[in-house]
Structures are given as structure tokens and as C-alpha cells.
Amino acid sequence: MPNSDQLPSLLLKINQNQLALEAAIMELTLWVEQRDSGEVGDNVRGALATISKSEEFINMTLAVLMTPE
């Protein structure tokens, strides 16, 4: 298998890791917010918003790369 054929699979795994990290960080954010650290929670939510904004583009790009020619 040429290396270029592995690129879509690699990007898919990276995206899966990103989503898993996002979920774990959100769990920690909720825990922090429950302990009245709203400012920290707001900062983390701002960073997580960047991940969410990128997710649609990443998914569309992966769909194009994974589509057989």
C-alpha cells in the first residue's frame, strides 16, 4: 500500500483522538465548574469551541479523502 493511501486512515485516527480528548476535557471542565471555578471553565470552553468549529471541516475533508475515485 503506497504511503498516500494511508493518509485518510491516519487523519481519521487523529480526528478520533481529537474527539476523545475533547470529551475528556469537557468532563474535567464540568468537574471544575461544579467546584465554583467558573473562570477556568469559561477558558476551557473557549478552547473547546475551536475544536468544535474545526470538526465540520475535518469531517467533510475526511469524507472526500475516503471516497473511492
- 13-67 pLDDT, tens digit per residue, is 888 998 899 999 999 989 988 988 878 888 888 988 888 888 888 888 888 877 8
Give the domain extent around 47.
3-63
* Domain count for the chain: 1
Q: Is residue 35 part of a domain?
A: yes
11 assigned to some structural domain? yes
Within-domain flag for 68: no
Give domain status of residue 56, yes or no. Answer: yes
Residue 6 near residue 14, CB atoms below 8 Å: no
Q: What are phi and psi of 67, to 5 degrees?
A: -75, 125
The model's pTM is 0.69
Residue 17 lies in a domain: yes
